[in-house]
Amino acid sequence: MSDETEISTGQTPDQFDLVIRGGRIATASDVFDADIGILDGRIVALGQALSKGLREVDARGKLVLPGGVDAHCHFDQPSADGSRMADDFDSGPRSAAFGGTTTVIPFACQQKGQSLRAAVEDYHARAKGKSVIDYAFHLIVTDPTAQVIGQELPALIREGYSSFKIYTTYDDLKLDDRQILEVLALARREGALTMIHAENSDIISWLTEALEQDGKTAPRFHSAARPAVAEREATHRAISLAEIVDVPMLVVHVSGGEAMEQIAAARARGLRVFGETCPQYLFLTADDLDLRGFEGAKHICSPPPRDRASQESVWHGLANGTFQVFSSDHAPFRYDDTTGKKLRGENASFMHVPNGIPGVETRLPLLFSEGVGKGRISLQQFVALTSTNPARLYGLYPRKGTIAVGADADLVVWDSTREVTIQNEDLHHNVDYTPYEGYEVTGWPQIVFSGGNVVVENGELIAKAGDGKFLECGTPDILL
Ligand code: DUC
Ligand code: ZN
Ligand code: ZN
């Protein structure tokens, strides 16, 4: 290719809306130096010495990445216990954007007894006019009635809600094995992707009762009540059910080696089983639930963080392809607040503490710094895990998740040398803590574009609430 060549599908315009010039572009497969020409919100040219743009961005010395796709985050999701999430569709996506994410896929959660259609309408109302970046919805199916299985879910899948999460635990959410088989069969018929939260509910409730009887109710006992064996058993069972139905499945928020072995073994047998993990399983351990007073409640999430060996296993799984997706599982509850972790006060049993930790803004910097920066994963793997693979699995690719002619210009100019000490006061979520306070990372977004428009530049929010669009998801690409 000569220096003057421009690669594009049609004729190259005389003037682009935007040219991002001289950056090092990283995709899931390649790293190369090129200019990016953008017109009407889309990438229309990749090449050397592209003609002028109305706006020019000098990205020399910087990486240019496809915007992150955070395919597991919870915003404004009510819980049966009356707790309230700290982030809604305004603060959640804004915080995501500051961390280099340009697409979020939170959940529209069906309450038991509620129609799935009503749940979707409810979440659209919650999100309307708020998000600064594009968003889609996964469904959460908690009540697979004949009406849901026979009509609502098939219709919704065809309308752009092509993935849904199911649970094996939590009384207000869980399905039994028979119900799981029914929804998996429906997923197979309709070509949807099922995400599963895999922990054995009876093991957890039996252990919880025993711990409570012994007065062991401090936050640290949350980990003891939800051991890796409970996750391994449910993962094995979930995979078995998917195998019976012959349908793909993605196991979400995998915490360590035991569950990973089940996924790896299934994949080795040729099953379309996928794995997702999250920052908390790389950076936290059960010791983080064993802090002074009630502070350990900040790190209560499920499955819980395990130990150093599990962290190492998860790093290996990211490098060796056991995991396809790295999401935040941002589930934001304020700590010092009776809407959040202190819902039932400071002496509440761990079983009454809302589950979940924040992380939508720190997901990419943490993985980049400790993964790419320390040589544990390649830059291409980083892009695949955080952007391309979730876009593919959830039917948004190639519009999202890559840098290619025709893709949305959702891009991040990434300063791979910027050193940042993570401090909650600098983050943009509405949570009063970050689990990663004081972590030193190298690499941070400098400019974040959505559809060619600047969302965040040098730490300033430029986009307005409502600039983000709702995305209909297409057919999951399960050939990963
Ligand atoms: N566990 C979940 O299953 N969802 C949200 C947060 C958590 O800890
Ligand atoms: Zn879950
Ligand atoms: Zn979750």
**Which atom of ligand 1 is the closest one to the Cα of 252?**
3
Query: CA 213, CA 18: separation in Å to the nearest integer?
Result: 64
Domain shared by 199 and 348, yes or no = yes
The answer to whether position 80 is within a domain reads yes
Q: So what's the pLDDT on residue 117?
A: 97
Q: Which residue has the higher pLDDT, 480 or 251?
A: 251
Percentages helix, strand, coil for the chain, rounded to the nearest 5?
30, 20, 45
Nearest Cα neighbor of 386 from 102, 139, 7 is 102
Count of Cβ atoms closer than 10 Å to residue 244 Cβ: 12
Ligand 1 centre to CA of 78 (Å) is 13
Reported as a pLDDT band with limits 50, 70 and 90, residue 35 is very high
Tell me, yes or no, whether 34 and 114 share the same domain: no
CATH code: domain of residue 22 = 2.30.40.10
- Rounded mean pLDDT of 253-269? 98
Residue 336 lies in a domain: yes
Average pLDDT, the chain: 96
> 26 and 73 share a domain?
no
- For ligand 3, the distance from its centroid to the CA atom of residue 73, given in whole angstroms, is 6
Q: Is the CB of 331 under 6 A from ligand 1?
A: yes
Question: Is there a single domain that holds both residue 35 and residue 164?
Answer: no
> Would the pLDDT of 1 be above 70?
no
451 C-alpha to ligand 3 centroid (Å): 27
* Arithmetic mean of pLDDT, 287-313: 98
Tokens, residue 231? 């996750």
Domain edge (last residue) among 379, 407, 439: 379
Contacts of 455 (CB under 8 A, 6+ apart): 97, 102, 132, 133, 448, 449, 461, 462, 463, 467
pLDDT band at 4 (very low <50, low <70, confident <90, very high): very low
In whole angstroms, give the CA distance from residue 81 to residue 463.
Answer: 35
pLDDT exceeds cutoff 70 at 2 = no
Domain co-membership, 326 together with 413: no
Q: Are residues 330 and 298 in the same domain?
A: yes
Last-in-domain residue among 351, 379, 407: 379
Cα(106)–Cα(87) distance, rounded to whole angstroms?
12
Residue 230 domain-assigned? yes
Residues 191-246 pLDDT 10s: 999 999 999 999 999 999 999 999 999 999 999 999 999 999 999 999 999 999 99
- Ligand 1 atom closest to Cα of 301? 8
Q: Are residues 47 and 89 in the same domain?
A: no
According to the model, what pLDDT value does residue 11 have?
Answer: 56
Query: Using omega within 30 degrees of 0 as the cis cutoff, is the peptide bond preceding 303 cis?
Result: yes
Assess if residue 123 is contained within a domain: yes
Say if residue 351's pLDDT is above 50: yes
Distance of CA 337 to the CA centre of its chain: 25
pLDDT of 8 over the 80 cut:
no
Q: Select from 107, 223, 226, 329 the residue to mutate for testing ligand 1; criterion: most ligand atoms less than 8 Å from CB.
A: 329
d(CA 93, CA 308): 31
- How many distinct structural domains can be found in the chain? 2
- Cα–Cα distances in Å, from 149 out to 28, 117, 191? 36, 12, 14
66 vs 408: CA distance, rounded Å = 9
The pLDDT assigned to 439 comes to 98
Residue 478 lies in a domain: no
Confidence of residue 13 (pLDDT cuts 50, 70, 90): confident
Q: pLDDT-derived band of residue 14, with 50, 70 and 90 as boundaries? A: confident
Residue 131 lies in a domain: yes
7 pLDDT tier (thresholds 50, 70, 90): very low
**Could you read off the pLDDT of 393-437 as tens digits, one per residue?**
999 999 999 999 999 999 999 999 999 999 999 999 999 999 999
User: What is each CA distance from 177 to 96, 183, 198, 238, 478, in whole angstroms?
Assistant: 35, 10, 12, 8, 23
Residue 416 shares a structural domain with residue 301: no
Structure tokens at 281: 């399983």
11 within some domain:
no
Residue 174 lies in a domain: yes
The finding on whether 197 has its CB within 6 A of some atom of ligand 1 is yes
Bond prior to 398 in cis (omega within 30° of 0) = yes
Task: For tokens 């809302």, name the residue.
Answer: 354
Look up the CATH number of the domain holding residue 80: 3.20.20.140
Same domain (yes/no): 167, 26: no
By alpha-carbon position, which residue is closest to atom 6 of ligand 1? 356
Nearest C-alpha neighbor of 271 from the set 294, 245, 289, 253? 245
Residue 172's identity, in one-letter code, is: D
Q: 327, 351, 379: which is the final residue of a domain?
A: 379
**Amino acid letter, residue 56:** E
Strand partners, 37: 19, 45
Sequence-distant contacts of 123-130: CB under 8 A, at least 24 apart: 123/76, 124/470, 126/75, 126/76, 126/88, 126/89, 127/75, 127/76, 127/89, 127/470, 129/465, 129/466, 130/88, 130/89, 130/90, 130/93, 130/465, 130/466
Amino acid identity, residue 235? T
Same domain, 287 and 418: no
Burial label, 205 (beta-carbon count in 10 A; 0-12, 13-18, 19+) = middle
Q: Which domain holds residue 140?
A: 68-379
Mean predicted confidence (pLDDT) in 272-295: 98
Residues 62 and 130 placed together within one structural domain of the fold: no
Query: Residue 311: how many CB atoms within 10 A of its CB?
Result: 18
Q: Using a 6 Å cutoff on CB, does residue 355 contact ligand 1? A: yes
Ligand 1 lined by 302 (C-beta under 6 Å):
yes
Same domain, 272 and 213: yes
User: Is beta strand 440-450 parallel, antiparallel or unpaired with respect to 411-421?
Assistant: antiparallel
Strand (E) positions, 72-122?
101-104, 107-109
Q: Give me ligand 2 centre to Cα 236, in Å.
A: 16
Q: Does residue 301 line the site of ligand 1, with CB under 6 A?
A: yes
The pTM of this model reads: 0.97
